[in-house]
Structure 1
Amino acid sequence: MKPTDLIVTPMGVRFLNRRFPCTLGRSGIVDDKREGDGGTPMGAHRIVGMLYRPDRIARSGLPDWARPIRPGDLWSDDPNDFDYNQMVRAPYPHSHERLTRADRQYDLVLITDWNWEDPVPGLGSAIFIHTWRSPSHATAGCIGLARKDLLWIAKHLTPESRLIVR
């Protein structure tokens, strides 16, 4: 493990010799992830993308590989869809998550490579690192962080950074 890895521990996420409180999926950490199970998948996951809401977060300070979330951006969570676990655009006939949410959870999103590059239907989708709803509210399988902590982490990520969940 490298200091630039985000390591999930019982005390939160460790990154660059700091600890940040986090929330996990409602089913905890799982080693047999399935779509809709509420589990956070165990393993070492690359950070393959960063999305942000330009109407809510300033571009300055974010890495140059961060991409804006546009109206109509969605994430497919339909295991029967060819574009399962990929970003897609509205209108979209299959099951999906809207990336332009009314709440602030997806104002900044780090995309992991969980079941992403060559997705297996039903193995789980949209495993992100995003802003938590509250420190005591579990996610649907993602890692949730306080907004200020997520912004700090995003500004200090390197291309080699990984999310380690064990």
Structure 2
Amino acid sequence: MVDRLIVETAAGVLHWGKQSTPCAIGKGGAKPAADKREGDGATPLGTYPLRWVYYRPDRVPPPATDLPIRGLCRRDGWCDDPAHPAYNRPILLPCDASAESLWREDGLYDLIVVLGHNDAPATPGLGSAIYLHCCKYDDTGAMKPTLGCIAVPRATLAEILKTCTPQTVIEIRE
């Protein structure tokens, strides 16, 4: 088991235990969490708990992990509206505020680790929906940047989850 996942944003590498993998970060680069803003596409630097794992039950089995696990359903979403009381929290769709659907056709959210960024409590506008999730590739085979999350190949994420416990944190650094 590992107590810390380390993301080196400048190198685009995620380390766990003695292993490492390339990873994608936000298209807006990385910035200190205090400077993170909703919609800026930046990955927040800092150390965060791993809250729980979502998985898409029609595509992948429940991951082997000691983290809490929740199967997604078609109505699962995440509120990204800073003016709404449910900002940066899971919601059911449809919702009367801006929200992202977690049930995606592109496979990015087949496995999602919810990171404890801006959630205790959430400060409106300082960023929402920061996850460790599956990556997407461009036409050249390179990983596409995210909207602020960390992304790795799905099979690699499943391997990383095997080593995580509720005490594991993710450290995102330059």
Question: TM-score of the superposition, structure 2-length normalised?
Answer: 0.90
- 1:84 matched to 2:91? The reply is no
Q: Secondary structure at the match of 1:149?
A: helix
What is the alpha-carbon distance in structure 1 between the residues aligned to residue 111 and residue 65 of structure 2? 10
1:4 — aligned with what? 3
Pick from 52, 55, 65 the counterpart of residue 52 of structure 1. Answer: 55
What is the alpha-carbon distance in structure 1 between the residues aligned to residue 12 and residue 46 of structure 2? 18
What is the alpha-carbon distance in structure 1 between the residues aligned to residue 67 and residue 46 of structure 2? 27
Shift of residue 16, structure 1, vs aligned partner: 1.2
- 1:131 matched to 2:116? The reply is no
Question: In the TM superposition, what are the counterparts of 1:59-138 in structure 2 within 5 Å?
Answer: 59=62, 61-63=64-66, 65-134=68-137, 135-138=142-145
2:169 — aligned with what? 162
Change (3 A) 1:115 1:146: same
Q: Secondary structure at the match of 2:50?
A: strand
What is the alpha-carbon distance in structure 1 between the residues aligned to residue 149 and residue 12 of structure 2? 16
Whether the 8 Å contact between 1:132 and 1:144 is mirrored in structure 2 is yes
Q: Which amino acid aligns with 1:29?
A: A
Pick from 37, 60, 71 the counterpart of residue 34 of structure 1. Answer: 37
1:148 — aligned with what? 155
Provide Cα deviations, 1:6-34, integer angstroms capped at 9, x if missing partner.
Answer: 10122500001101110000111111100
Provide Cα deviations, 1:48-77, integer angstroms capped at 9, x if missing partner.
Answer: 111101111112624462110111000000
What is the alpha-carbon distance in structure 1 between the residues aligned to residue 111 and residue 102 of structure 2? 10
What is the alpha-carbon distance in structure 1 between the residues aligned to residue 63 and residue 118 of structure 2? 30
Q: Secondary structure at the match of 1:42?
A: strand
What is the alpha-carbon distance in structure 2 between the residues aligned to residue 112 and residue 45 of structure 1? 6
Change (3 A) 1:140 1:57: same
Whether the 8 Å contact between 2:50 and 2:170 is mirrored in structure 1 is yes
What is the alpha-carbon distance in structure 1 between the residues aligned to residue 43 and residue 98 of structure 2? 20
RMSD: 1.5
Structure 1 residues without counterparts, runs of 5 or longer: none
What is the alpha-carbon distance in structure 1 between the residues aligned to residue 61 and residue 67 of structure 2? 12
Structure 2 residues without counterparts, runs of 5 or longer: none
What is the alpha-carbon distance in structure 1 between the residues aligned to residue 145 and residue 12 of structure 2? 15
Whether the 8 Å contact between 1:11 and 1:19 is mirrored in structure 2 is no
Shift of residue 136, structure 1, vs aligned partner: 2.9
Question: TM-score of the superposition, structure 1-length normalised?
Answer: 0.94
